Structure 1
Amino acid sequence: MGAPWSDVVYLAHQGKGQDEDGFPDNSQGELRQVFANKKSIRSQEFYLAKQNGYELTHMYELRSIEYKGEELLFLTKDSPPHTIFRTYEKGEFIEVICLKRSDDHAV
């Protein structure tokens, strides 16, 4: 295990609403850097999600006060976004679990 709070991730809100032409707005908000602890996804949760067509990819522990309900997590400023699938509050900490759509299930 690495040093506590040695990982850096970036959080952003997913754009909501419509653009000027009436199409869904898929823009993202400004990236916000936070320190985190990388954790392992629990095997039962991983396999249950896989059965439903989702692949859980990352889990990070953040300080609850730093999480503002963002929907996207980036591993670097330039990496593709991961969707925040679920959060779990544990007092002053919150676990953030990310996913990507699995290609081997019809959903």
Structure 2
Amino acid sequence: MHATLLSILGLALLGALRAQDSVPVQTDFQQDKLTGRWYSIGLASNSNWFKEKKHLMKMCTTVISATADGNLEVTSTYPKGDQCEKRNSLYTKTEQPGRFSYASPR
């Protein structure tokens, strides 16, 4: 029983890892075409937290900047109450051009 459960868990994890690599990178990716100011027009998630809070959420603006070492610094500004809140994220370049990784601090 334990061996079967471990096998199923192992296959599920392997599938999750492979799914991450299945998203193709845009051919001839040009980082300078991605940088600049972007405006959110929608959000989507199937998480329970999101479903409960989505009526409180507002759209944000996002500025994407390239760092000196080729990473992407992403700053999102969104309304919260009667103020604006900023959230900064760093997307680290990988060996494959056009592919970046992000690790949530939470």
After TM superposition, the score normalised by the length of structure 2 is: 0.26
Determine which structure has greater relative contact order: mean sequence separation of CA pairs < 8 Å that are 6+ residues apart, divided by chain length: 1
Q: Which has the higher helix share?
A: 2
Q: 1 or 2, which has the higher strand percentage?
A: 1
